[in-house]
Amino acid sequence: MRNRGEEDRIALSNVMNVNASTMTNPPRITLRLATPSKFGSEIAFSPARQFTLNPFAPSPVAEDLIVRVDKARTLRQASPAGRVR
């Protein structure tokens, strides 16, 4: 994640929730973090949007993030002491 020259890496296993607001302009994705980053406990950004005739179509970026966060969470819970390898 980068904001005005500052950068912080956020592990997918640290993401508690992915919320996609497609009915806003521009569309927005908000990540809620288990442990706050240097930018706080919520990170919001506007993903690049592909053209679609369906205004209710889900965001491919949000859908991908949801799958990847779920996989990271599953790995974290399965690892001893909650560590991801």
Contact between 9 and 68 under an 8 Å Cβ cutoff? The reply is: no
Full set of structural domains in the chain with CATH: 2-82 (2.30.29)
> Is the Cα dihedral 19, 25, 27, 29 positive or negative?
negative
Write down the pLDDT at residue 3: 80
Q: What is the pairing mode between strands 2-3 and 6-7? A: antiparallel
For the stretch 17-76, pLDDT in tens is 999 987 788 889 999 999 999 899 999 999 887 777 877 788 889 999 999 999 998 887
Greater confidence, 67 or 84? Answer: 67
Confidence (pTM):
0.76
